[in-house]
Amino acid sequence: MDQTHRHSTTLGADIRALRRTRGLTLQQMADALGRSVGWLSQVERDKSDPGIDDLRAIASVLDVSISTLFSNAPSPAHETGRIVRSEARRAIGPGEEGLREELLSPDLTDDFEMVHSTFLPGASLPAPVQRPTQEVGYVISGKLDIEIGGHLFHLEPGDSFRIKGEPFRWMNPYETPAIAVWVIAPPVY
């Protein structure tokens, strides 16, 4: 039996995981949304489907793009939570210009997330960012420069890196896109 399974069955779990990662209680998030704890609890348990305005508010409180809360395509029920097809990856991330990020993990409920990042030619993160995470990346193609803790590194295909709560920034001053896979713990998107 090949039933499709809409992303909405993992939407609640993703919202719960993001809320917990940000250290918010149900009450704190419900207050920030102007909603009841019961309503938010039902959303997190997939008992209630939030409207688009609610999703915008949830994304704002969680400091993620609204696209983070959507998948691109439904998947067969037996694949949900296990398999992510290339055409069904969710766009994630804050949306810096010149960076496209897609979630490779089935959802955000694990202790880590896996992200496919494409850094367009000439793109850069203008200022260093620092997150309370551990991150490991692997460059698949292209070249990428990354500054970690004030040290600049030039990466090529096959190179990998680790960031442990240090300030970092990336730049692609080259003529071709750079593609990398990142593992981030705990999930931030």
CATH at 21: 1.10.260.40
The phi, psi pair for 12, rounded to 5°, reads -60, -45
**Is 125 a member of any domain?**
yes
Residues 8 and 65 in one domain: yes
Tokens, residue 10 = 């993992």
Task: Check residue 8 and give its pLDDT.
Answer: 38
Q: In 3-state terms, what secondary structure has residue 106?
A: coil
Residues written for the chain: 189
What percent of the chain clears pLDDT 70, i.e. is strictly above it? 89
**Is 126 a member of any domain?**
yes
Boundary (domain end) residue, out of 37, 69, 101? 69
Of 19-28, 66-75, 84-93, which has the strongest mean pLDDT? 19-28
**Is 95 a member of any domain?**
no
Tokens, residue 13 = 């779990």
Q: Is the pLDDT of residue 120 over 90?
A: yes
User: What is the pTM for the complete model shown?
Assistant: 0.73
Q: Is the pLDDT of residue 178 over 50?
A: yes
Q: In 3-state terms, what secondary structure has residue 84?
A: coil
The answer to whether 15 and 24 have CB atoms below 8 angstroms apart is no
Q: Which residue has the higher pLDDT, 50 or 2?
A: 50
**Is 173 a member of any domain?**
yes
Place of tokens 């809409």: 6
Q: Is the pLDDT of residue 6 over 60?
A: no
Domain ranges, residue 133: 111-185
Smallest CA-to-CA distance from 156 within 180, 135, 134, 136 is with: 180
Average pLDDT over residues 63-80: 73
What percent of the chain clears pLDDT 90, i.e. is strictly above it? 51
Q: What is the mean pLDDT of the chain?
A: 87
Task: Check residue 80 and give its pLDDT.
Answer: 78
The answer to whether 138 and 181 have CB atoms below 8 angstroms apart is yes
Q: How many domains would you assign to the chain?
A: 2
Which pairs with CB-CB distance under 8 Å and at least 24 residues apart come from 47-51? 47/12, 49/8, 49/11
Q: Is the pLDDT of residue 167 over 90?
A: yes
Q: How confident is the model at residue 175 (pLDDT cuts 50, 70, 90)?
A: very high
**Is 20 a member of any domain?**
yes
Q: Going by DSSP bridges, is the β-strand pair 99-103/4-5 parallel, antiparallel, or unpaired?
A: unpaired
Tokens, residue 56 = 């915008």
Average pLDDT over residues 49-78: 79
Q: How far is CA 123 from CA 56, 148, 151, 163, in A?
A: 27, 17, 19, 20
